[in-house]
């Protein structure tokens, strides 16, 4: 199972954490491990992991994100 971390801009509070968690939970192929202000740790059984799909879902919800290197 592949794990990856996204850095997420625009998160300021607990409501943001809940919203981001909802968006990522609804993203096909992504399992949420942890969401905190500014980041999310995710995993996926898919190869390759659907990183771009998760980033696009967050962007649509108003949270620009990028893969942490």
pLDDT digits (tens, 9 = 90+) for 24-40: 999 999 999 999 999 99
Residue 44, pLDDT > 80, answer yes
Residue 67 has pLDDT above 90, yes or no: yes
Dist. CA 16–CA 5, nearest whole Å? 17
Q: Say if residues 11 and 20 touch (Cβ distance below 8 Å).
A: yes
What span, in angstroms and rounded, lies between the C-alpha atoms of 49 and 31? 10
Cα distance between residue 54 and residue 20, in whole Å: 10
Is the predicted pLDDT of residue 3 greater than 80, yes or no? yes
pTM assigned to the model = 0.93
- Domains plus CATH for the chain? 2-67 (3.30.70.100)
Can you give the pLDDT at residue 34? Answer: 98
Are 1 and 64 in contact by the 8 Å Cβ rule? The answer is no
- Is pLDDT at 69 greater than 80 in this prediction? no
């Amino acid at each position: 199972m592949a794990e990856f971390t996204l850095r997420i801009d625009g998160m300021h509070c607990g409501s943001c954490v809940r919203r981001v968690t909802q968006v990522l939970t609804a993203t096909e192929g992504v399992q949420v491990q942890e969401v905190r202000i500014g980041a999310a740790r995710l995993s996926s059984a898919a190869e390759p992991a659907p990183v771009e799909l998760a980033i696009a879902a967050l962007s649509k919800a108003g949270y620009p994100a990028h893969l942490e290197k």
